[in-house]
Chain A
Amino acid sequence: GDQVEQSPSALSLHEGTGSALRCNFTTTMRAVQWFRKNSRGSLINLFYLASGTKENGRLKSAFDSKERYSTLHIRDAQLEDSGTYFCAAETGGYKVVFGSGTRLLVSP
C-alpha cells in the first residue's frame, strides 16, 4: 500500500504569505528528502533529513520519524517558488518512496 501520503495536492498562495506541506508515513522511515521540480522538469534537492529540522532561506523542513511525518514550510512566498514539490522517504535498504506531490501556485 501507499507508504507516503502527501498533502495538500495543490496549494495557492499570494506573494509574501506562507504555508506548509506535509507528508505522513504509514511506517517508520529512516530519512526524508524534499524535492522541487524545476521549469525543465528536473527534480532538485531541497533537503535531506535523518531527524530534526533544517532551514535554507525561506524554506524550513522538519522530520519526526517516531511520529511518522515530515513538513516543508515556505515563508514569504515568491512567484518563482511556484512548481511541484515532492517528499520522498527511505524505508530502508536503498528503497526511497515518493509522495504524490504538491502543486504550488504563487500569485501576485
Chain B
Amino acid sequence: ETAVFQTPNYHVTQVGNEVSFNCKQTLGHDTMYWYKQDSKKLLKIMFSYNNKQLIVNETVPRRFSPQSSDKAHLNLRIKSVEPEDSAVYLCASSSGTGVSAETLYFGSGTRLTVL
C-alpha cells in the first residue's frame, strides 16, 4: 500500500535548468526526508524536516532547496541542474517521536537525468 507519493516518476532536462520534485505523505507523519541514490545505488541523506522545520542538511550544494508547505508535503527544488545531479531522488516519511526517527516509509522515487 503506497502512502508516500512522489511526482514525477521520471524527468529529463538539460544542464542549467530548474527542476522541482513533489512529495506527499498520507500517513500523518511529522518527519519527511529526501535521499539521493547515485549510480552505485548508494543512498545518501540530503535533508530531513520535522513539522516543517529543517533538521538535517547534509552538505548538499546550495542549488538544492527543500520546500515544505505543511508537514505532509516536502518538495525538492534544484535551481540549476548539473550532470552529477542525475540520480534517483527518494522521499520518505516517519512518525519521528523526538527521540528517534522511527520506521521510514519510502516513495517510489523520481529518476532525474541531466543531459
Interface residues of A (CB under 8 A from B): 30-31, 33, 35, 40-43, 45, 48, 50, 84, 86, 88, 90, 93-98, 100-101
In this complex, which of A90, A94, A98 has the most chain B Cβ atoms within 10 angstroms of its Cβ?
A: A94
- B27 in the interface (beta carbon within 8 A): no
Could you jot down 29 A-B contacts, CB within 8 Å? A30-B100, A31-B101, A35-B106, A41-B109, A42-B2, A42-B107, A42-B109, A43-B90, A43-B104, A45-B105, A48-B102, A48-B103, A50-B100, A84-B41, A86-B43, A94-B33, A94-B48, A94-B55, A94-B94, A94-B101, A95-B48, A96-B33, A96-B48, A96-B101, A98-B42, A98-B44, A98-B45, A101-B41, A101-B42
Question: Which of A35, A48, A94 is in CB contact (< 8 Å) with B56?
Answer: A94
Bound Cα distance from A40 to B2, whole angstroms: 12
With A94-B31, A101-B41 in contact, is A40–B108 under 8 Å at CB?
yes
CB distance from A38 to the nearest CB of B (A): 10
- CB nearest to A96 among chain B residues: B101
Would you call B100 and A97 a contact (CB within 8 A)? no
Question: Which of A30, A42, A84, A101 is in CB contact (< 8 Å) with B108?
Answer: A42
CB distance from B4 to the nearest CB of A (A): 9
Bound Cα distance from A41 to B6, whole angstroms: 13
Would you call A95 and B109 a contact (CB within 8 A)? no
Would you call B43 and A95 a contact (CB within 8 A)? no
- B25 in the interface (beta carbon within 8 A): no
